[in-house]
Amino acid sequence: MPTRTAHARLEAPATVRVEVPFTLIVGLAPTPTAGVLGAGFQVPTGPLTLTVSLLLDGFRTADGSSPVRTIVGSDDVPYPAAAVDLVAVGDPAYRSSRSILAVYAVDGHQLGVATRIIEVRTDPIPDAPPAPVSRAPRVWALPTGSAPDLEITVARGNDRDGRVLQWTAHSPHPEVTVPSEPVSRAMDERAAGELAQRFMRGVEQRRGADDLETYLRGVQFIVGDQVPREIWAALASAASVAGRRPTVLFATADPFIPWELAAVPQPWDRQRPALLGAQTDFGRWLYDDDSDVPAPAPTVAAEEIAVVKGQYAGSARLPEAEAEADHLADSYGARLVPAEASAVLACLEGDPPADIVHFALHGKLDVTGVQDGIVMNDRSTLDFVSIRGVGSGRPRLAFLNACQVGQGQQVLGDPAGVVPSFIRIGAQAVIAPLWKVDDTAAREFAERFYTAVFSGRTVSEVLAEERTRALTAGAGDSPEATTLAYLFFGHPRLTVTRRQRRQEDSHAATPA
């Protein structure tokens, strides 16, 4: 279908007064709107039906109507727009600087999210209103090709305590039932971070214990309880319409909760475990309304592969991880990179070049930040700050087969950690475990993973089947805990295409 570029239009006063109506113009524009970061949408040429869902935490519509607007465009009106009268809620629980988020969709396919920051005052607005708040609004254009069956966005609200998350869902299938307006749920971010770390330690302490199976099931129930029932209904509807395991893109501002481990209250596939990450082909991604996070790509082309090989002395040695690295070198011509900070950072910058970089070594989560990140041969740690310092990296897929590095953190209010750093330097897909993994199970999982994806299977499909395999295997076994630890950040339809290097260049010498 022919497309053209349009931009989000969100026009409103820079400053408003509580409980005094103001007008927001929402729609499309031929050029970026002042105050809205200008990444464009690809929209169909000719007639179109645009749906804009406004996330109005701290605001309300003046007439009590739905915050969702359907706007019709045509050849004569290529950039349709509508006026929405809003009111800023006069509640001290909300910040004075509040964001209005607009989720754009055409024919059910989510295009992206635009943000407008408005300063809300309780006192009269002076004749010369202040300049717009410097906090940068942004538009994030989600993928327009290979659309997932359901796209879920979880964004922050505007409350001062940072407890509100706002959920929206869209589908390219008109028959899928999605919430008519955003759904708000309270979640304390500090408590969520503490809970995620408790899950991590709880699983690690129960390796081989009698209650590992029930503990993991408890994690699943607790996470599942945080998903609004409207979102569960949308997921079930997407599964029914797709007639198979649905593909789900889950873009979230929450850096802590392992949503793929949520227990499905009424599973739509009775042949699979009642786990969101097994009932769907699930890809998560970062949503951040304060900075420009790239959209996940549906394909990764890989010619060059590198594997960072940990070679530790004494009791820290990981023979299985060493074998894992050697397998990738022997089977796929991966270049071996020593687990030394200078060598790893050079690889991320392109020396040696690597479209896929695999890590087979130790990892460690330290919330104090003293020894946090990927453990080098000399026992020092390469943390997420150094990775972020690369700026723009070469790898497009990173597989971090290192304990605990999938755990999310928060720095200055933004998602942080090893995984977000890889995404921000250009990775289009990242796989990493939440907790400590069994060495043998981790090696075997990595070997099965590459065999599957290089044969054309999607990454999320492989992970869904691995989770199913783990939960239907030996209950309470440590391989179960290992396989369930892996999170996948990327497009749920992601495929990896590979082009073999010339034979004379296909092997690198093992570092001393």
User: What is the token pair recorded at 209?
Assistant: 């214990």
Strand order in the sheet with 305-309: 183-186, 164-170, 150-156, 247-252, 281-286, 486-489, 429-433, 397-401, 356-360, 305-309, 335-338
What is the rounded CA–CA span in Å between residue 175 and residue 110? 15
Per-residue pLDDT, 440: 87
Residue 137 has pLDDT above 60, yes or no: no
Q: What does the pLDDT read at residue 478?
A: 52
Confidence band (pLDDT; 50, 70, 90) for 25?
Answer: very high
Across the range 417-435, mean pLDDT stands at: 87
Given its phi and psi angles, is residue 64 left (phi above 0), alpha (psi -120 to 50 degrees) or beta? left
pTM of the entire structure? 0.75
pLDDT tens sequence across 299-353: 998 889 999 998 888 887 888 888 999 999 999 999 999 989 999 999 999 999 9
User: What is the C-alpha to C-alpha distance for residues 284 and 27, in angstroms, rounded to an integer?
Assistant: 27
Which tokens sit at 364? 């460690």
Q: How many distinct helices (H) and strands (E) make up the chain?
A: 11, 29
pLDDT band at 39 (very low <50, low <70, confident <90, very high): low
Residue 415 contacts residue 449 (beta carbons within 8 Å): no
One-letter amino acid of 129:
P
pLDDT band at 146 (very low <50, low <70, confident <90, very high): confident
Half-sphere exposure in the Cβ direction for 393 (13 Å, CA): 27
Domains of the chain: 3-141 (2.60.40.10), 299-501 (3.40.50.1460)
- Average predicted confidence (pLDDT) for the chain: 82
